[in-house]
Amino acid sequence: MRQIHTPHGDLALPAFLPDATRAVVRGVDAQDLEAAGVPGVVVNAFHLGLNPGSKAVAALGGIHAMMGWSRPVVSDSGGFQVFSLIRSGQVRGSITKKGVHYATPSGRQAEWLTPEKSIQTQLRLGADVLVCLDDCTHPDDPPEEQAASVERTIGWARRCKEEFERGLAMSRNTLPKVPNLREGGEDRLKAGLQTQNRPLLFGVIQGGNDPKLRRECAAALVEMSFDGYGFGGWPFDSQRRLLAEILALTAGLMPPDKPKYALGIGSPANLVACAKMGYNLFDCALPTRDARQGRLYVFRSSSATDVGYGRVYLQDERHRRAGGPVSEFCDCHACRNHSLAYLHHLFTIRDGLAARLATIHNLRFYTQLIERLR
């Protein structure tokens, strides 16, 4: 599959989307993202549902208007946040067949995150690609917990799709009337808008490191027919090694004519490895987080097919007099206009411009990496 059609334009595949978790890729704005060649971003429905609230975003005209961003937006459901916050014990809560019952950050009240609420939130945000709420696990979790996760994920996916279709039907039925259409023309217009401009819905395959459970989950989701499918769950073992075997198996269980989303996989090496398995959509906070820590990626050659890379650490004293750019093979704003010595200086004095320029560079590295893979 070469591209995804969305209400805010076609998304060429493969694609890497940086995390704009709370409606911002930290330290940069929409113009910086566009200049770096970023084709789309990922926001988080769980966090935006808490602050500022999906109704507040809708009142501003949706996530695109709020961010000043005209390209595609994917909204993550919040399933991973459930895993990272509740399963780790950072937030009090419980995971049930109904959904997730959790304490808000203030601790003064409890909330439900259900499949229906997750979809309602994502629709109000106005995202182009929505992701079903799933029950995320760690590969080391016991078999009975993995099985329960798959059962919940399948049930939640069915409810997500029902709520998604209900939400689309409500939107279609509330479209303004268009004058001067022949009899039946308005219904055809609505149906056309529904087909051509509707957002997409992705299902997420769980099952931990168990091939049987992965097959069971994938078969059930494929039967429901989603617009795309994602690998769900923590993709690393306890030694932080990529679970290549189960990732490859899961990719093979996804329909070949649908996008294959490797959620949360973002180191350059892992991205390249997963692309070879067939995955064609990626997101991760790693490149922007590394940029803020002064860790920059650089290619080793100018070859359009060479994905070999190294790292530059801005805090290294040896960069103090480096008059050239961070990378001679990069055309980003930072490399075209500033020296490595200047970025080293900004990082040393902890000026905010250091994070912005470093983030721009790493994002451009990723868009160039995708271009080389393509």
Percent of the chain with pLDDT over 90: 79
Q: Which residues are catalytic?
A: 76, 283
Residue 35 binned pLDDT confidence (cut-offs 50, 70, 90)? very high
Count Cβ neighbours within 10 Å for each residue of 285-296 and write b for 16 or more, e otherwise. bbbbebbbebbb
Alpha-carbon distances, residue 23 vs 30, 45, 152, 164, 367 (angstroms): 11, 10, 28, 22, 20
> At residue 324, does pLDDT exceed 80?
yes
- Choices 3.20.20.105, 1.10.10.10, 1.10.150.20, 3.40.50.10490: CATH for 3-284: 3.20.20.105
Please give the pLDDT value at position 178.
38
Phi, psi of 332 (to 5 degrees): -70, 170
Count Cβ neighbours within 10 Å for each residue of 44-83 and write b for 16 or more, e otherwise. bbbebbbeeebeebbeeebbbebbebebbbbbbbbbbbbb
Start-end of CATH 3.20.20.105 domains in the chain: 3-284
Please give the pLDDT value at position 182.
44
Concatenate the DSSP letters of all residues of 289-304 into one string.
Answer: HHHHTTEEEEES---T
Please name which of 199, 142, 153 lies closest in space to residue 172, comparing C-alpha atoms: 199
> At residue 196, does pLDDT exceed 60?
no
User: Helical H runs in 181-296?
Assistant: 185-197, 211-224, 244-253, 268-277, 286-292
Please give the pLDDT value at position 84.
74
Taking the C-alpha atoms of residue 211 and residue 370, their distance in angstroms, rounded to an integer, is 29
Contact (CB, 8 A) for 310 and 300: yes
> At residue 37, does pLDDT exceed 80?
yes
Mean pLDDT of the chain: 91
Average pLDDT of 309-313? 97
**Across 21-35, 180-194, 217-231, least confident range:** 180-194
Token look-up 């801005």 returns 314
